[in-house]
Amino acid sequence: MQTLSVALGERSYPIHVGAGLLDRADLIAPFLVQRKVAVVTNPTVAALYLDRVTGVLAREGVEVVRIVVPEGEEHKDWRTLNGIFDALLEQRCARDTTLIALGGGVIGDLAGFAAATYQRGVPFVQIPTTLLAQVDSSVGGKTAINHPLGKNMIGAFHQPRVVVADMRTLETLSERELRSGLAEVIKHGLIRDAAFFGWIEAHLDRLLARDPEALEHAVVRSIAIKAEIVGQDEREGGLRALLNFGHTFGHAIETGLGYGAWLHGEAVAAGMVMAVDLSRQLGYLSEADSTRIRSLFERAGLPTAVRGISPARLQQLMRLDKKTKGGRVHFVLLERLGMALLRADVPTGAIDHTLSRLAA
């Protein structure tokens, strides 16, 4: 097992990564205020792992309330959140009950937002079971639900007490979900670590074949990059915005196509190719680097353009981006491979040109 940490003073927390960690209730028990937890999950993950997690916690003397919510991004909404509150109240969960998210990023974001708001905030633990959730969404404390008009528009910052990432859960993940998670792994290399990007290029076949050693390296390096950024800028005053590379386009794609039509990582992959194109147009990235990045996404089986949504509609949705200030959309660009920057003054003509090439 490897243990990383997000350094946030007295709210710092460990992130454990390793094989078989679902059986390690001892990693969670020290963080429980009272020996009662509510595990939030969905039917797919419940069928695979809920009995196991409930069993190991019960053996530690922990009372477990099970909350199974509907599956899918289209249910990351107010109605499902309210269903979680109903269950917590019906089961008389108090302020000292810990909420545990067992699942992918949808479950993590929903359970995290419930934990941030139930009785003005209860303790929270993340057990991420998708590659995307292990490398990104379980770390950093962003929680949210979607609004019909915009992705992740209602939410809160609420850090977990501990994150437990069992690498073996990735064995049951579908091929498409694995590729979607790789998009966020590639993002971490692109924005912060050119050598890691090169490592992903060299080991992509091993990652796609789920070689445990390669996957663990990708997870640990991604978490280290994200934890370092979050430790410096928890509330996204500046630096943390770089983690949104590709997301201005990506979130607009997800909202425009309808939640769940494309996986989050797929939309972000196409969004990153758009941001790379913008970076090339503005003279930061060379043509060669732009082609090199695009081919990695192609090799990973991820989309590099979008069909079914017009450039005008994408621009309209992008104006809702959370990085918009004073009516101007701020774009995360690549200054070079491994180094990102935030720019507020991207010329409209350049955005039009990128979208006319990569969206229709």
Task: Give per-residue burial for 33-69: e unless 16+ CB within 10 Å, then b.
Answer: eeebbbbbbbebbbebbbeebbebbeeeebebbbbbb
Q: What is the closest distance, in whole angstroms, from the C-beta atom of residue 282 to ligand NAD in the complex?
A: 26
Is residue 240 a contact residue for ligand GLY (CB under 6 A)? yes
142 is an active site residue: yes
Which of 188, 264, 322, 330 is the catalytic position?
264
171 is an active site residue: no
Task: Give per-residue burial for 157-182: e unless 16+ CB within 10 Å, then b.
Answer: ebbbbbbbbbbebbeebeeebbbbbb
Cα three-residue angle 218-268-106, rounded to 5 degrees: 80
Q: Which of 142, 179, 188, 192 binds ligand GLY (CB under 6 A)?
A: 142
222 in Cβ contact with 185 (< 8 Å): yes
Which of 240, 294, 313, 323 is the catalytic position?
240
Kindly state the tokens that stand for 26.
């001892």
Q: What is the closest distance, in whole angstroms, from the C-beta atom of residue 142 to ligand NAD in the complex?
A: 4
Distance of CA 130 to the CA centre of its chain: 10
28 in Cβ contact with 125 (< 8 Å): yes
| 89, burial (CB in 10 Å: exposed 0-12, middle 13-18, buried 19+) | exposed
Which of 146, 244, 322, 330 is the catalytic position?
244
Residues that bind ligand NAD (CB under 6 A): 42, 44-45, 48, 71, 73, 76, 103-107, 109, 129-130, 132-133, 136-137, 140, 142, 152, 169, 172-173, 177, 180, 263-265
264 is an active site residue: yes
Q: What, of ligand NAD, ligand GLY, none, does residue 277 touch, CB below 5 to 8 Å by kind?
A: none
Is residue 323 a contact residue for ligand GLY (CB under 6 A)? no
Q: What, of ligand NAD, ligand GLY, none, does residue 240 touch, CB below 5 to 8 Å by kind?
A: ligand GLY
Q: What is the closest distance, in whole angstroms, from the C-beta atom of residue 134 to ligand NAD in the complex?
A: 9
321 in Cβ contact with 153 (< 8 Å): no
Among residues 103 and 271, whose Cβ is nearest to ligand NAD?
A: 103
Task: Give me the active site residues, please.
Answer: 120, 142, 184, 226, 236, 240, 244, 247, 251, 264
